[in-house]
Amino acid sequence: MPSEAAIEEIGPPPRSYRNHLLRIASFLTVMVAWELLGRQVAPLFMSYPTAILGAAVTMTADGELIQGLLVSLETLLLAFAISAVLGIGLGLAIGRYRAVEATTDWLVNALYATPLVAVIPLVILWLGLGFAAKLFIVILLAIFPILINTASGVRNVSESLIDVGTAFAATEREVFTKIILPAALPYMMTGLRLGIGRAIIGMVVAEFFTAITGLGALIIKYGNQYDTASMFVPILVLMGLGILLTAIVRRAEAWIAPWKTTEDE
Amino acid sequence: MRKVKLAIQEVSKTFRVRGGAGQKAFLLPVLRQLSFDVYDNEVVSLIGESGCGKTTLLRIVQGLVRRDSGTILVDGKRIEGPGRDRGFVFQQATLLPWRTARQNIEFGLELQGVERAERARRARELLDLVGLAAAGEQFPHQLSGGMQQRIGLARALAIDPAILLMDEPFSALDAQNREILQQELLRIHRRTGKTILFVTHDLDEAIYLSDRIIVMGAKPGRIKRVIDVPFARPRIELPRLRGDPVFQEMRAEIWDLIRNAPAAAREAAVGVSVD
């Protein structure tokens, strides 16, 4: 009779460990291939990892990367906070009250379906090229996934959980705060996670089309200078930002609602 | 004469069934002029084929469904809606997944405005009573189905209701867990002296748990017969009780009532479940 420890060692290594190795191997392969192939192409059209790294060091040293990042973050985080508050508030009302839903659903659907980049000229006419216009554009993009997920979270609260509240003679208000709100929380977090991705898109779009600032400005500046390696640096920072912020919301999701992880949209 | 705890007087209910594609809406009478009393400290089971309205009746008593007519009295007081004088145990435990077992038990007390320390004390008592003293800080998804249902029972008992309403609470459990929980329920009944109205479709469960069994018929739901269960309390375990000829005779009688079968078919029915 083998001991338990012996049994554990038999068979392939745990799946997660093997997948981790595969991931690292794949990453290294792509990096090496990029480095080798990138060096064959004219530097105007393509760059390669070591050149980008060099450019990143220079840009960090003279402070323009940090400066650009801070300017971008200011718009992004403020607009996202406003989107979260408005989106969750409106989503709760729409999900809970049929009348509010009927009043607003056509508008929400229409705006959600519109490619919002198309209305940017209008936003500029209204709000100019400054900070307000940028905030507005980011909010316009970020708010809908938050609002729609919150509303569907409220609508999807299982009837049997509401029965529990009713059976214990909870008031309408208690049913809302003690059952509907916590039950919808995972959906809200999913909305926030999807919203942050769209907020980053909105931020870059705003930086391209209104007053040129932040990381978007760096991309345009180095693009105009045909300095492709430097242009890659803010792009990669944006990528990292997207990964980081999404991971933070995902972590918050697991912490706030450990009993449930919802599917994407 | 024993004290009447729950009086159900001429309760009727008709559902309006919305028509599907190409079908007209129609009225479905679920309960017609139903009356019976449940006495203090008694366990009464409602049993009958599906569609006989037993669960609807239980939900009407709790106030989850509105009755069309009739009167329901709990401790002589007419009831109109949900109230904390009745504790409800659902078919699925339906614990709130974001609350720990203890916080789930405290749910009703919280709504009553009982202060934190007192709530915690009550919850500890009840965790003890249902045999889960160590599981208070676990979340529902960490508990087995049987444990979840014990917490559901503790949650209903926490508000110290006059009567406990149980809607097929053990039907989702495997056979072994079901028998364990049935035994536990009898033990808790002995300890607390609660009056229990119990809906089931399981013949053995009805006989094992009840002082009286109300056999209902369908379309519309009505009482076919009320059967007194003669076994003394505390009862011997169900697997042993099943060997008793009286038990088998009762089982066959209820089976026939539910299936509308002639008496000759009884012999064959012994040992067969309604399911």
Q: Name residues whose C-beta falls within 8 Å of residue B262's C-beta, 6 or more positions apart in sequence.
A: B256
| Nearest chain B residue (CA) to A175 | B111
Q: Name residues whose C-beta falls within 8 Å of residue B70's C-beta, 6 or more positions apart in sequence.
A: B8, B9, B10, B11, B12, B33, B34, B35
In a domain, B14, yes or no: no
pLDDT for B271 beyond 60: no
In a domain, B4, yes or no: no
Q: Are the Cβ atoms of B111 and A169 closer than 8 angstroms?
A: yes
Q: Are the Cβ atoms of A163 and B139 closer than 8 angstroms?
A: no
| Nearest chain B residue (CA) to A164 | B94
Q: Are strands B26-39 and B86-89 parallel, antiparallel or unpaired?
A: unpaired
C-alpha closest to that of A84 among A178, A193, A238, A182 = A193
Question: How far is it, in rounded angstroms, from Cα B258 to Cα B218?
Answer: 9
Residues of B in contact with A166 (CB under 8 A): 63-64, 82
In a domain, B3, yes or no: no
**Mean pLDDT in residue range B244-250:** 94
Question: How far is it, in rounded angstroms, from Cα B45 to Cα B200?
Answer: 7
Q: Are residues A35 and A93 part of one domain?
A: no
Q: Are residues A113 and A24 part of one domain?
A: no
| Count of domains observed in chain A | 2
Helices in chain A by DSSP H: which ranges?
Answer: 4-9, 15-40, 49-61, 64-96, 98-113, 120-127, 131-155, 159-167, 172-175, 181-209, 214-224, 228-256
C-alpha closest to that of A139 among A216, A79, A69 = A79
* B12 touching chain A per CB within 8 A: no
Question: How confident is residue B266, by pLDDT bands cut at 50, 70 and 90?
Answer: very low
In which domain, by residue range, is A85 found?
49-256
Q: What is the largest CA-CA distance in chain B?
A: 61
pLDDT at A253: 84
Question: What's the pLDDT tens digit per position in B66-90?
Answer: 999 999 999 999 999 999 999 999 9
| Count of domains observed in chain B | 1
Distance from CA of B66 to the nearest CA of A (A): 12
Q: Look at residue A46 and give its three-state secondary structure.
A: coil
Q: Are residues A33 and A66 part of one domain?
A: no
Size of interface A-B (CB pairs under 8 A): 53
Partners of B71 in the β-ladder: B9
Distance from CA of B62 to the nearest CA of A (A): 6
Question: How far is it, in rounded angstroms, from Cα A86 to Cα A176?
Answer: 18
Q: Are strands B26-39 and B4-17 parallel, antiparallel or unpaired?
A: antiparallel
pLDDT at B275: 39
Distance from CA of B249 to the nearest CA of A (A): 37
Q: Look at residue A201 and give its three-state secondary structure.
A: helix
Reported as half-sphere exposure (CB side, CA atoms, 13 A), residue A139 has a value of 17
Q: Are residues A23 and A64 part of one domain?
A: no
pLDDT for B211 beyond 50: yes
Distance from CA of B210 to the nearest CA of A (A): 24
| Nearest chain B residue (CA) to A177 | B111
Partners of B88 in the β-ladder: B165
**A161, A168, A189: best mutation site toward chain B, by most B Cβ within 10 Å?**
A168
Residues of B in contact with A164 (CB under 8 A): 90, 94, 96, 107
Query: What dihedral angle (degrees, nearest 10) is formed by the CA atoms of A61, A62, A66, A70?
Result: 160
pLDDT at A1: 41
C-alpha closest to that of A87 among A182, A228, A183, A195 = A195
Is residue B254 within 8 A of residue B213, CB to CB? The reply is: yes
Instruction: Return the number of other C-beta atoms located less than 10 Å from residue A74's C-beta.
Output: 16
Question: How far is it, in rounded angstroms, from Cα A92 to Cα A115?
Answer: 25
Q: What is the DSSP string of chain B?
A: -PPEEEEEEEEEEEEEEPP-TT---EEEEEEEEEEEEEETT-EEEEEESTTSSHHHHHHHHHTSS--SEEEEEETTEE--S--TTEEEE-SS----TTS-HHHHHTHHHHHHT--HHHHHHHHHHHHHHTT-GGGTT--GGGS-HHHHHHHHHHHHHHT--SEEEEESTTTTS-HHHHHHHHHHHHHHHHHH--EEEEE-S-HHHHHHH-SEEEEEETTTBEEEEEEE----SSPPPHHHHTT-HHHHHHHHHHHHHHHT--GGGHHHHTT----
Distance from CA of A187 to the nearest CA of B (A): 14
C-alpha closest to that of A142 among A236, A59, A220, A76 = A76
Q: Are the Cβ atoms of A167 and B92 closer than 8 angstroms?
A: no
Question: How far is it, in rounded angstroms, from Cα B6 to Cα B73?
Answer: 6
Q: What is the DSSP string of A96-112?
A: H-HHHHHHHHHHHHHHH
In a domain, B27, yes or no: no
Is residue B253 within 8 A of residue B260, CB to CB? The reply is: no
pLDDT at A14: 65
**Mean pLDDT in residue range B169-193:** 93
In a domain, B84, yes or no: yes
* B82 touching chain A per CB within 8 A: yes
Question: How confident is residue B218, by pLDDT bands cut at 50, 70 and 90?
Answer: confident
pLDDT at A227: 92
* B262 touching chain A per CB within 8 A: no
Phi-psi label, residue A85: left if phi above 0, alpha if psi -120 to 50, beta otherwise: alpha
Is residue B67 within 8 A of residue B60, CB to CB? The reply is: yes
pLDDT at A248: 92
Q: Are the Cβ atoms of A169 and B81 closer than 8 angstroms?
A: yes
* CATH number of domain containing A197: 1.10.3720.10
Q: Are the Cβ atoms of B98 and A179 closer than 8 angstroms?
A: no
pLDDT for B263 beyond 60: no
**Mean pLDDT in residue range B127-132:** 93
In a domain, A1, yes or no: no
Distance from CA of A243 to the nearest CA of B (A): 28
pLDDT for B273 beyond 80: no
In which domain, by residue range, is B165 found?
40-58+80-251+260-269
Residues of A in contact with B159 (CB under 8 A): 168
pLDDT at A260: 63
Q: Are residues A165 and A224 part of one domain?
A: yes
Residues of B in contact with A188 (CB under 8 A): none
Q: Are the Cβ atoms of B62 and A167 closer than 8 angstroms?
A: yes
Residues of A in contact with B94 (CB under 8 A): 160-161, 163-164
Question: How far is it, in rounded angstroms, from Cα B102 to Cα B140?
Answer: 10
* B83 touching chain A per CB within 8 A: yes
Give the global pTM.
Answer: 0.81
In a domain, A264, yes or no: no
Question: How confident is residue B24, by pLDDT bands cut at 50, 70 and 90?
Answer: confident
Which residue among B96, B139, B140 places its CB closest to the CB of A179?
A: B96
Q: Are the Cβ atoms of A169 and B64 closer than 8 angstroms?
A: no
Is residue A134 within 8 A of residue A207, CB to CB? The reply is: yes
In a domain, B173, yes or no: yes
Q: Are residues A120 and A71 part of one domain?
A: yes
Partners of B163 in the β-ladder: B86, B195
In a domain, B203, yes or no: yes
Question: How far is it, in rounded angstroms, from Cα B236 to Cα B215?
Answer: 24
B109 vs B82, B96, B193, B246, CA distance in Å? 15, 15, 20, 43
Which residue among B83, B88, B141 places its CB closest to the CB of A259?
A: B141
Distance from CA of A153 to the nearest CA of B (A): 15
Q: Are residues A105 and A65 part of one domain?
A: yes
* CATH number of domain containing B172: 3.40.50.300
**B91, B98, B151: best mutation site toward chain A, by most A Cβ within 10 Å?**
B98
In a domain, B86, yes or no: yes
Q: Look at residue A237 and give its three-state secondary structure.
A: helix
Q: What is the mean pLDDT of each run of 10 residues along chain A (265 residues)?
A: 46 73 94 92 88 93 93 95 96 92 91 87 92 94 95 93 95 93 92 94 92 91 92 94 92 79 40
* B63 touching chain A per CB within 8 A: yes
* Numbered residues of chain A with Cβ closer than 8 Å to any chain B Cβ: 160-161, 163-164, 166-170, 174, 178-179, 182-183, 185, 257-260
Q: Name residues whose C-beta falls within 8 Å of residue B207's C-beta, 6 or more positions apart in sequence.
A: B213, B229, B231, B241, B247, B250, B251, B254
In a domain, A172, yes or no: yes
Query: At how many degrees (to 10) do helices A64-96 and A181-209 cross?
Result: 140
Residues of A in contact with B110 (CB under 8 A): 178
Q: Are residues A85 and A35 part of one domain?
A: no
Residues of A in contact with B107 (CB under 8 A): 164, 168, 178
Q: Look at residue A258 and give its three-state secondary structure.
A: coil
C-alpha closest to that of B189 among B151, B233, B228 = B233
